[in-house]
Structure formats: structure tokens, C-alpha cells
Amino acid sequence: MPQDKMTIFLSWSGKSSQAAAQAIGHAIDSVFNDAQPWISSKDIQLGQEWFTELRSALESTRLAIVCLTQRNAASPWVMFEAGAVAGKLPGLKLVAVLLEGDVTDLVDPMARFNSTRFDREGMQRLFESINLSLGSPMKPLGLKGSFDAVWPELEAAVKAAVRSDPSYDVFLSVPMAAFETDVQYKAFRADAMKVVSALRDSCGLRVYCALENIASMDDFDSYGASAKTDLKALHDSTNFVLIYPQRLVSSALFEAGYALARGMPCRFMVHKASDLPFLMRKLPEVFTHVSISDADEWTTYDELARLLVKDATHLFGTRHRARMEK
């Protein structure tokens, strides 16, 4: 990396954030001759020791841009890189770019740093800040012309990246048609909705659960139609949670197999692990992204909801939304 160029460190987590970071880096490279964007996905070559390269990049960095989505704002990797950057303050500027949402959505520690929305005004201010940090800054009119030239492509690329994000943070799979009576189904549905509400209200997660719109067994439509809808939602989800209260013949087990085949992080919530098929019981011994929680951790659905909320950061890469208490 040329030593006479100012290094700009771009931090990301997740495919959409990565694509956005690459687009922003490309725009910076196109506008500024004296700035060198550094993105870990592109600039750490195969076989290089990643931490050494990361530390080396930070040593020469004067500005860090963190690309945030609603899903990755509290991801472990973003927190790690932001912490590494913060360790160099005050000699280094850190700016959080919100690819979606608003700056008021940020919580600590990211809320402590400068931030801007990804829109024309916010990005133009960011490019002006980059320009002022250079040893030989561009003249304002020249900078404006260069920014105007790259903005349409940059905006289109980042918007496309954000749209590619999965629609749901959690696919909550539950047995439905396996119940013998409507009374049993309705009682289970009320309990399962406690979990859905807790993940949404306490963690701000986007949750899909098929039973939400099915108040009774009379509302079941044809298997083909519902299966198509559920599989699309499952395909468009990031994490998989199975609630399996007892040994049942259920399409929920099919959904679990689909999630496992796609490599999704999976957590199976059961009263007895022995109720699961034998191979499913053994999965946590082989795969780090699969876990099982049984009656040692929860017995009621209120306890299950609290357990998932408590572990949300670890399980789903998010943090509880900050709440203001009066």
C-alpha cells in the first residue's frame, strides 16, 4: 500500500454490509487520488495472518467507516473492529454509516461516535470530511463534481445490497397440524406467540412464524400453498429456531433439515432431547452452529421467551433495543 496515501478503513459484517463497503470503497477510490480504502475481504490475501494484516491496516488508518444495517449494528465482528479502531482514538476518526434506519436507532457503544445516514446529503458530508483530512485536499467545486459523478452508481449499489438482506432475522418453526384438537393447537399457539412477541418487542428482531396468521385449525389451507410460503420465508431468514414440545410427526422437522442443509445457525428448543430424531440429537457434537436447549434451561414458555431474549446477542448477532424508562 502506498505510504503517501491516507488509509480509510471500511468495516462490515454480513453480505449486504460487505457489498456496501466495497461500493463505498470504490467511490472513494474514484474520487480521491490521495486516499486508499482498505476492506478486509479484499485486502487480506489467502494465507495471510488476518489479525496481523488488520493491525497493520489500523496502524496507517486515519479514518474508519463502519457500514451498519439494522441486522449487524451489534454483531460481534463489527463490535470487535470498532473496538480496535476506538483503541487508536483520538488520532483516528470513526464514522458509522447507517445503510438503513436512522441515527436515533443506534445504541451504545456505536451511538457514541459520529454517524450519518446513507443518503446524498450524508455521504456528501462524509466525502467533504475525507477531503479535509487529506494532505492536499481538492477544491470544493472539484470535489462536488467528482462526488456528483459517482453518486448514482454508489446509491444504486448500496440500495441493491440492502435489498439483498434476508427478510427475517429468525424463522420460528413450530408443529401445527400435528395437534389432534383445536383446543390443543390454540393453547400451543398462545404460548408460541409469547416467544414471537418477546423476540420482536425486546430484541427488535424480524420474526416469521407460520402460526401467527392461523388462529385455529380450521384456518389451515392446502399443504402445497402453505409449504411454498413457509419455505420462501425460511430461505429468506438468517437464523432457525425450532420449538418442539413433544415427539410429534411434523413438517417442522422437515424445516429443520432444510435449515441445516443451508448452514443456518439452528437452535432446537425441546423439553426432552430424546424426543428429537437420533441424528438431530447428535448435531451439536459436530456443528458449532447447532445447539439444543431442554428442560434444564426452560419448562414454561415464559421461561423460553426470557431465555431467547437473554441470549439474543449470542444467538442472533443483535442486542436488545435500548429503552427509555420514565
Q: Which residues contact 80 (CB under 8 A, 6 or more apart)?
A: none
Would you call 123 exposed, middle or buried from its count of C-beta atoms within 10 A (0-12, 13-18, 19+)?
Answer: buried
Tell me the pLDDT of the chain (326 aa) as tens digits. Answer: 445 788 888 888 777 888 999 999 999 999 999 888 888 765 434 444 555 566 666 666 778 888 888 766 656 666 666 676 666 656 678 888 888 876 666 665 666 667 788 999 999 999 999 998 888 888 999 999 999 999 999 999 999 888 776 678 899 999 887 778 889 889 999 999 999 999 998 888 889 998 888 888 777 765 545 777 888 889 888 899 999 988 877 788 899 999 988 888 899 999 999 989 898 999 999 888 899 999 999 999 999 999 999 888 777 764 433 332 22
- Reading the block at residue 77, the C-alpha cell is 465482528
Specify whether the CB–CB gap between 280 and 256 falls below 8 A. yes
The CA distance from 254 to 260, in Å, is 10
The CA distance from 180 to 158, in Å, is 49
The CA distance from 206 to 100, in Å, is 15
Structural domains present in the chain: 6-163 (3.40.50.10140), 168-316 (3.40.50.450)
Whether the full predicted model's pTM is greater than 0.75, yes or no, is no
